[in-house]
Amino acid sequence: MPCSVVFSSVHTTSMPLCVRVCVYVCVCNTQDLETAVIDTIKAGKMTKDLAICVHNTTKVTPDQYLNTEPFMDAIVETFAALRANQGGGSSSGASSP
């Protein structure tokens, strides 16, 4: 199943977050996924625990971090952009992972 199809179908379901992450890792190229996570964090989109480390304070404000679901959404967006730039797929699911 093409990776972009998996992202579309999984993202719109009510699956628990941990199951969606497993689907992403198992179906998609893990190197691309790792790159997407790193690029997302470098872009300043991260969870609170990472924001605490990056900003070196426990007093981070909500504009400095994302909760889990929005963070996962940001990774999905970065991953999709990365795959599109590599010619690795589109939202129609026309190519394979």
Does residue 26 register a pLDDT over 60? no
Confidence of residue 32 (pLDDT cuts 50, 70, 90): confident
Structure confidence at residue 94 (pLDDT): 37
Q: How far is CA 22 from CA 5, 26, 34, 59, in A?
A: 15, 6, 13, 32
Does residue 79 register a pLDDT over 60? yes
pTM assigned to the model: 0.62
Rounded to an integer, the average pLDDT of 35-42 is 92
Q: Are the C-beta atoms of 83 and 7 separated by less than 8 Å?
A: no
Does residue 45 register a pLDDT over 80? yes
Amino acid making up residue 61: T
